[in-house]
Amino acid sequence: MQRHPMSMVQPKQSEAELLNQINSLKSELSFQVNANGRLSKELNECLKRLGITRVDVIHQDINHQTDLSYLAPLFIVYEEHIKNYDVILQKLMDDLGAMDARIQMVNDDNTFLRKQLQEKNEQFLRLYQQGGSASNIKTVFNELEREDLEERIRLLNEENSIYVNKLKQYEGQIYDLQQKNDSFIRNEQQYLNQLQELKQLNQQLEIGQDDLKIKLDILENKFQNQTQLVAITEEEKTEYIQRFSKSENENKVLKHQNQNLKQEIVNLQNKGQLSQTELQKELEELQKKERELFDKQVHDEREIDQLRDENRALKRELDQNKSNLEQTIKMMDNYENKIQILLKKEDNYKILTKQLKEERENAVMEKDRYQLKEQQFDQTLQNQMTKHREDIMQLKENFDKQSDSLKNRYKIIIEQREDEIHRLNEEANQITTLNDRLTKEIKSLKIEITRMENGLKQDIVTNYQQTDDLQRQISELTEKNTLLEQKLTDQEAEFNLAKQSHDSYVKTLTNNNADLKQNLEHTRSELTSRTQELSTQKGKINSLTRQCQNQLEEIAKTKRHYETRLEQIQDDYTYKIKNLQLQMEDAINRERQSREKSVKLLQDYDKIEEKLKVEYNSRILELETTINNLKSMNHQLTLKLNEIRNVSYMNKVENQTLRK
């Protein structure tokens, strides 16, 4: 809280008004102290309810109680503890729900297993009731074997059908490839015929070279322009980087300023916290100054102005404190509501725990009852069972040994079957990988063939264009030659007419003939040069034809290579199918043998069970006889006890009569 300067001039007040204000401030402070005490008591009660460690807040000075800053961390801690308890309760409810779901799952599994056991027991009872247990068991196991074999045969037939379909697909693809190869051969012949016609492509090629040179010049100019643009963009990039660095420096300066402002705010907050202690000191100073008012009126008036300002500030703070108290009261009401909700949840949880405890106690009582019954029965039979335990233990050991041997044999058989199944699965995976690899190779071949077709089509189009241009040029040259020949014939006719008609023009005609001869020689030289150019073009065309032939030979080689590979793959596939068929036959034979062995083992097991049943029945009869003997002994003992009681009663009666 900041002080106003001493030079502030305000209206004067009387001493009575100042005293009234001071008393009102004291009453408000006492009210605040009482409110804080009440809040501290309520907080302690809440802490006791929630089971949180007690915070030593009550035995503090009045200065700390009037300051509300110490309550904020307490409220935060209470909220955190309440949230933690909510989370714990939610986890408990989720765990209970999960336990209910697991119990339901276990009950469902138990009911399902009981149904299966009942069905199996009913089947075996039917078999025993029908008579001929061993034969019926054999028939049942034979039926099960037959069903398993039929299922496996069905699966093998499905796999074989899949492989046959794949073979048909591969055969169709091979047939398509052969047709494509035939079409390629036909196209090759057509290309050769067309290449023979492409021997007149000299001038067109030279024109194309000139066009390419012009295009190269244009591209070089474009490249230079692009390099200039790149240099300009790099300069702009450097400018942007510089701007970015400047902005970063400005951001650093602003951050430093923000830190300074935060420090100033912290200092102001510290000053505000210390203002309350200063107020108390100032109140003490005011009490001292009240005694010195008569001697120092002028000095006191200035201090009264300061006190007015301070009183206004205190009123504001008191209003704020009142609002804070109201907010805290509202917060406490909310916390009480939350605590009531938690208490209700705890009551529900306690009720659930009580129900669970009652159920457990009932289960324990039932368990104790059954244990008492068992103890009674054990006490009656303990004397007789000691004799027969050794024999039963021996029989049990023999039975355990036989069952262990049977289990080990079955385990070995099952492991062998699993190894065979794993091996067959691996072979099937290998076949699938081979099929995938073949499909990939066929796809790559198709892609290469399409690429070759596109290249040949483009070459054919260019060749057609070049042939059309050459034919056009040849037609133009032929037209020029025909025109020259016509001119020569016309000139010869005129020359003959001139000889006959005009002898005077002989010299002029001879001169004209000489000129014509020169022209003819020039045309002949041009024809020779053209023939040379045609010969060079023929050489180029021959080289192109050789290249095409080499490419065709390479295509034929690749075709042969892939045909051989396809044949090898087909052979490998047929060989593997045969091996799989042989392996399946071996597996079926082994299964038959193992089934026969299992039937024999089951027969032996039935015999052992019958022997054990006979022995067990005999032992039960012996035990029943012993129990009957014991019952008779008990009956005799009870009769003797009754006689003794009667005798004792008679003796008592006689003694009483004698006493009388």
For range 532-537, the mean pLDDT: 69
What percent of the chain clears pLDDT 70, i.e. is strictly above it?
Answer: 25
Alpha-carbon distance 573 to 430, whole Å? 11
Closest CA to 75 of 87, 63, 65, 83: 83
* Average pLDDT over every residue of 382-398: 60
Q: pLDDT by residue (tens digit) across 128-144?
A: 666 555 555 566 656 65
pLDDT of residue 376: 64
**C-alpha distances in Å from residue 40, one per residue of 45, 172, 322, 547:** 9, 94, 16, 104
Of 383, 361, 362, 365, the closest CA to residue 373 belongs to 365
How confident is the model at residue 657, as a pLDDT? Answer: 76
Q: Summarize pLDDT for 397-444 with one digit per residue, the tens.
A: 665 666 566 566 656 766 766 676 666 667 656 666 766 676 676 666
> Cα–Cα distance between 406 and 398 in angstroms, integer?
12
Spatial separation of the C-alpha atoms in residues 630 and 621, rounded to whole Å: 14
| Measured distance CA(548)–CA(356) in Å, rounded | 93
Record the pTM.
0.20
- Mean pLDDT of the region 438-454: 66
Q: What pLDDT, on a 0 to 100 scale, did the predictor assign at position 91?
A: 75
Do the Cβ atoms of 10 and 308 come closer than 8 Å? yes
Residue-wise pLDDT for 266-319, tens only, equals 665 566 556 556 656 665 666 666 566 556 556 656 665 676 676 676 667 666
* pLDDT tens-digit readout, 471-509: 676 666 667 666 766 765 676 666 566 556 656 555 665
Mean residue pLDDT across the chain: 66
For 62, 211, 471, 541, the CA distances from 205, given in Å and listed in that order, are 110, 10, 14, 12
pLDDT by residue (tens digit) across 556-581?
A: 777 677 677 777 776 776 777 777 67
Residues 4/297, Cβ–Cβ less than 8 Å: no
pLDDT of residue 320: 72
Tell me what pLDDT residue 365 has: 74
Spatial distance between the Cα atoms of 649 and 477, rounded to a whole number of angstroms? 164
Split at pLDDT 50, 70, 90, the class of 203 is low
Mean pLDDT is lowest, of 59-68, 102-111, 612-621, for: 59-68
Q: Which two tokens stand for residue 650?
A: 């008679």
Q: Which of 336-350, 457-471, 545-559, 638-652 has the highest mean pLDDT?
A: 638-652
**pLDDT at res. 214:** 72
What confidence tens digit (pLDDT) does each residue in 612-630 have? Answer: 678 767 777 877 787 777 7
pLDDT per position as a tens digit, 236-252: 666 766 766 676 676 66
**How many Cβ atoms sit within 10 Å of the Cβ of residue 467?**
17
- Count Cβ atoms below 10 Å from residue 423 Cβ, excluding itself: 12
Of 272, 593, 652, 162, the closest CA to residue 416 belongs to: 593
Average pLDDT (571-592) is: 73
CA nearest to 306, candidates 276, 277, 285: 285
Residue with tokens 């199996």: 120
pLDDT band at 194 (very low <50, low <70, confident <90, very high): low
C-alpha to C-alpha distance for 513 and 519, rounded to whole angstroms: 10
